[in-house]
Amino acid sequence: MTRVDERSSRLSLAYVLVAFAAFGLAAIFGALQGMDRGGVITMPSWLTYYQILTAHGVLMALVFTTFFIVGFLFSGIARTNGGSLTPAARRLGWTGFWMMLAGTLMGVVTILTNQASVLYTFYAPMKASPWFYVGAALLVVGSWVAGWGMFACYRAWRRAHPGQHSPLFMFAAVATMILWQICSVGVAAEVVLQLIPWAFGWVDTVNVVLSRTLFWLFGHPLVYFWLLPAYITWYVVMPKIIGGKVFSDAITRMVFVIFVVLSSPIGFHHQLMEPGIDEKWKFLHVALTLSIAIPSMITAFTMFATFETAGRAKGAKGLFGWFRHLPFRDARFFSMFLAMVWFVPAGIGGIINASNQLNAVVHNTIWVTGHFHLTVGTTVALTFFSVSYWLIPHLTGRKLTPVLNDLGKLQGFLWSIGMLFMSGSMHTLGLLGGPRRTAGTTYMNDPTALSWLPWHKLTAIGGGILLVAAMLQIAIVFYLTFKAPKGEEEYPIGEVAEEAEATPAILERWRVWVPVAVVLILVAYGYPIFEMIQNPPPGAPGIKTW
């Protein structure tokens, strides 16, 4: 059994623990915010609703996800690289870690001193402290440096194994980081070229439509950056846990390549209701967005195929007999399975949001909040929780005990019930027109807004259950890190089925796929961005409105 060596373990563990610290803090902010909105508590004057909303969003969506993903991918690369990272990879990994941590602290301090209540989308011309933007830039650039460490390890492996396909986990991790580095050029350009000079007062005004376009050039691929590590778990780790085989190496690689190519040129679907972008360009992005449902449909097929072949190998009979052979008693599988189930309504919601005409009904309503609490908040988060149940003991040289296994299943169950209430009522509220990112209000007792109140209460109940589940997860992480009995916990990596077809070499040629992705971005964004710079709207001066 290949173990991740101690030095690589320490690096991965550092990332994962920062991720869960951010998660715990963010969960408390989320619960406070829900209780304030539901009228259960009133925020003190030094801590406002929008301040904790910003803290919740930044810590969950940016800090928890990015730190966890980088730590997880490093561990998997070490595991498939014979148990260790190359010294160069480790050095870059630690450099990235300290940059990301410094950026996070700058962000948290500016938010908690109320200098940056601009939410994690920081829409100009709301003007936060320049140090908030510097912190955001450090977080992103730090993750690039960590990614370069992964690329270095991948290159070393390829040099040492000429003519062979890289290990599937390593390949998928590299794909995820390539996607991330391509797309975050957009937000880096926004922050470095537009927001930082403007926030320091070196320029007076900001081109609002350009800043939003650069943000969403990054903002949608960002969700695939969250999703792909979950997909890695499903494709590569899950088969081993259920006692089966990876269905197809080639299909797995193809899915990741499609995501790298197609995830960036689709950001306008976040800007469908905006002026300053021609409807024909919006439509191009809508069509491309819908086509990215294809790799997720391939994933659905592959998951069922993996379940079924594993079940049949164990002697399952009938059309659905394999279902009973799935290890639902194993927390590592149970939470992951729930994550997959939740991805079905989450994906359908995504297709609705991306459709330019349906979007008029749900745009900026709390439906959208409900949607991403299903995608990143449930599908991705539950998968990461399931990973933590084996990854943390593996890294710390401890064991997941049967009691902890049961608590893990309870966590997954509570999380799902909480989300059922919270996300379900958010979706309903959104269809009724309830806005997102809005403190408790009845709009001066407007009858429409008053009719929403029962749904707000249900949202708050769901949020309460989620807080309990979040604290349980933090307790599990703490126990697995410091208290669990010493032992060996397996790092599950599935093997490819013998009958799977050979993988075409083209799927590993990043020299082909990266240029294809860049060309598609230039086609989808080149002319609109050229127009926004060539014929800019009159600039908007910055303003602090909180």
Classify 437 in phi/psi space as left (phi over 0), alpha (psi -120 to 50) or beta.
left
The answer to whether residue 371 is catalytic is yes
* Distance, CA of 506 to CA of 512 (rounded, Å): 8
Q: Which of 232, 248, 182 is nearest to 79 (CA)?
A: 232
Find the binding residues for other proteins in span 45-84 (CB under 8 A). 48, 50, 53
* Distance, CA of 500 to CA of 494 (rounded, Å): 13
Cβ atoms within 10 Å, residue 450: 11
* Distance, CA of 257 to CA of 265 (rounded, Å): 14
What does the per-residue mask of binding to other proteins show for 177-216, with x meaning CB under 8 A? ------------------------------xxx--x----
Nearest distance from C-beta of residue 281 to other proteins, angstroms: 9
Nearest distance from C-beta of residue 366 to other proteins, angstroms: 9
Contact between 293 and other proteins (CB under 8 A)?
yes
The answer to whether residue 372 is catalytic is yes
The answer to whether residue 49 is catalytic is no
**What are the C-alpha distances in Å from 301 to residues 181, 223, 338, 349?**
29, 21, 17, 19
Tokens of 49: 């609703």
Tokens of 30: 């989320």
Question: Could you say which of 373, 398, 427, 456 is catalytic?
Answer: 373
Contact between 449 and other proteins (CB under 8 A)?
yes
In the bound state with other proteins, the residue whose beta carbon lies nearer, of 59 and 277, is: 277
The tokens 């990741």 sit on which residue? 256
Contact between 371 and other proteins (CB under 8 A)?
no
Find the binding residues for other proteins in span 94-123 (CB under 8 A). 117, 119, 123
First-to-last alpha carbon distance for the chain, in angstroms, is: 55
Residue span binding other proteins (CB under 8 A) among the ranges 137-145, 418-426, 434-442, 513-521: 434-442
Q: Are 77 and 229 in contact (CB under 8 A)?
A: no
Among 152, 286, 400, 480, interactor with other proteins by CB under 8 A: 286
What does the per-residue mask of binding to other proteins show for 7-46, with x meaning CB under 8 A? ----------------------------------------
Decide: helix, strand or coil at residue 496: strand
Contact between 448 and other proteins (CB under 8 A)?
yes
Find the binding residues for other proteins in span 127-166 (CB under 8 A). none
Question: Could you say which of 79, 165, 285, 371 is catalytic?
Answer: 371
The answer to whether residue 285 is catalytic is no
Q: What is the DSSP letter of 269?
A: G
Residue span binding other proteins (CB under 8 A) among the ranges 60-68, 144-152, 283-291, 402-410: 283-291
* Distance, CA of 285 to CA of 316 (rounded, Å): 44
Contact between 273 and other proteins (CB under 8 A)?
yes
What phi and psi, each to the nearest 5 degrees, are found at residue 121? -90, -5
The tokens 């730090």 sit on which residue? 142
Nearest distance from C-beta of residue 153 to other proteins, angstroms: 27
Q: Report the 3 state secondary structure along 44-77.
A: CCCCCHHHHHHHHHHHHHHHHHHHHHHHHHHHHH
Contact between 359 and other proteins (CB under 8 A)?
yes
The answer to whether residue 436 is catalytic is yes
Among 320, 443, 527, 530, interactor with other proteins by CB under 8 A: 443
Q: Which of 65, 68, 60 is nearest to 25 (CA)?
A: 60
In the bound state with other proteins, the residue whose beta carbon lies nearer, of 40 and 449, is: 449
Find the binding residues for other proteins in span 476-505 (CB under 8 A). 501, 503-504
Q: What is the DSSP letter of 205?
A: E
The answer to whether residue 373 is catalytic is yes
Residues serving a catalytic function are: 220, 224, 371-373, 436-437
